[in-house]
Amino acid sequence: MNRILLKISVSILIMLLLFTTLTGCYNSKELDDLAYIIGIAIDKGTEKKFMITLQIAVPVKIASEGSEPGKDSSTLITIEADSLSSAISYASTRTSKEMKLSHNKIIVFSEEIAKTELTNCVNAFISSQEIRPRTSIVVCPDEARKFLENAFPVLETNPARYYDLLLASAEYTGYTTKTELIDFYLNNKSKYINPIAIHGNITTYQDPTGPSDPNPPSAASDSSSGNDSQGSSSESGGNSNGGGGSSNDSSSSGGSSSGSSSGAQDSNQEQNKEDLTPELYGIAVFANNVMVGTLTNYEVLAHSIMTNSLQGVNFDLGETTVSISQRKRPQIKVNVDGNIPHIDITVLLDARLLYSGDNLNYLQGNNKKDLQQKLEEEFKNIITTYLDKTAKEFKSDIVGFGKILKANYLTIEELDKINWLNIYKNSVFDLKVKFNVDTAQIFSSNEELNTK
Partner 1 sequence: MYAALYDKMDFTNLTPIFGHGYKNVFLNGSLSVGIFNSLIILFFISPNVKDIKKTAIYSIVISSITIFLILLLLFTIFPHEALSQNSFAIFELTRIIGFGRFFQRLESIFSLLWIIVACIFLGVALKFSIEIFMRIFNLKYINRLIPCICILNLNLSILIPDYMTSVIIRQILYNIVSPILFFVCPLIIVLLAKLKLSGGKNESNITQN
If one counts every other C-beta atom within 10 angstroms of the C-beta of residue 299, the result is: 20
What length does the chain have?
A: 452
Phi-psi region of 436 (alpha: psi -120 to 50; beta: other; left: phi over 0): beta
**How far is Cα of residue 84 from the mean position of the Cα atoms in its chain?**
19
According to the binding rule CB under 8 A, does residue 115 interact with partner 1?
Answer: no
Out of 413, 417, 440, 450, the residue judged to bind partner 1 by CB under 8 A: 413
According to the binding rule CB under 8 A, does residue 185 interact with partner 1?
Answer: yes
Look at residues 259, 431, 442 and name the one whose alpha carbon lies nearest to residue 346.
431
CA pair distance 394, 285, nearest whole angstrom: 8
In this structure, are residues 174 and 305 in contact, taking their beta carbons and an 8 Å threshold?
Answer: no
According to the binding rule CB under 8 A, does residue 332 interact with partner 1?
Answer: no
Residue 117 to residues 78, 187, 234, 289, 339, Cα–Cα distance (Å): 19, 16, 30, 8, 31
According to the binding rule CB under 8 A, does residue 348 interact with partner 1?
Answer: no
According to the binding rule CB under 8 A, does residue 307 interact with partner 1?
Answer: no
According to the binding rule CB under 8 A, does residue 164 interact with partner 1?
Answer: yes
According to the binding rule CB under 8 A, does residue 317 interact with partner 1?
Answer: no
Q: Which residue type sits at 417? A: K
CA pair distance 226, 259, nearest whole angstrom: 10
Out of 7, 71, 134, 327, the residue judged to bind partner 1 by CB under 8 A: 134
Q: Which is nearer to partner 1, 70 or 245 (CB)?
A: 70
CB 122 → partner 1: shortest distance, Å? 12
**How far is Cα of residue 395 from the mean position of the Cα atoms in its chain?**
22
Look at residues 30, 172, 161, 32 and name the one whose alpha carbon lies nearest to residue 103.
161
Q: Which is nearer to partner 1, 172 or 443 (CB)?
A: 172
Stretch that binds partner 1, among 59-67, 180-188, 296-304, 356-364 (CB under 8 A): 180-188
According to the binding rule CB under 8 A, does residue 333 interact with partner 1?
Answer: no
CB 89 → partner 1: shortest distance, Å? 24
Q: Which is nearer to partner 1, 94 or 403 (CB)?
A: 403
CB 284 → partner 1: shortest distance, Å? 21
CA pair distance 82, 51, nearest whole angstrom: 8
Look at residues 373, 350, 360 and name the one whose alpha carbon lies nearest to residue 441.
360
If one counts every other C-beta atom within 10 angstroms of the C-beta of residue 13, the result is: 10
CB 102 → partner 1: shortest distance, Å? 8
According to the binding rule CB under 8 A, does residue 403 interact with partner 1?
Answer: yes
Out of 404, 426, 441, 444, the residue judged to bind partner 1 by CB under 8 A: 404
CA pair distance 193, 286, nearest whole angstrom: 10
According to the binding rule CB under 8 A, does residue 100 interact with partner 1?
Answer: no
According to the binding rule CB under 8 A, does residue 374 interact with partner 1?
Answer: no
Q: Which is nearer to partner 1, 134 or 342 (CB)?
A: 134
DSSP 307: T
According to the binding rule CB under 8 A, does residue 415 interact with partner 1?
Answer: yes
CB 97 → partner 1: shortest distance, Å? 21
According to the binding rule CB under 8 A, does residue 124 interact with partner 1?
Answer: no
According to the binding rule CB under 8 A, does residue 182 interact with partner 1?
Answer: yes
Binding site for partner 1 (CB under 8 A): 132-134, 161, 164, 182, 185-186, 189-192, 400, 403-404, 406-407, 409-415
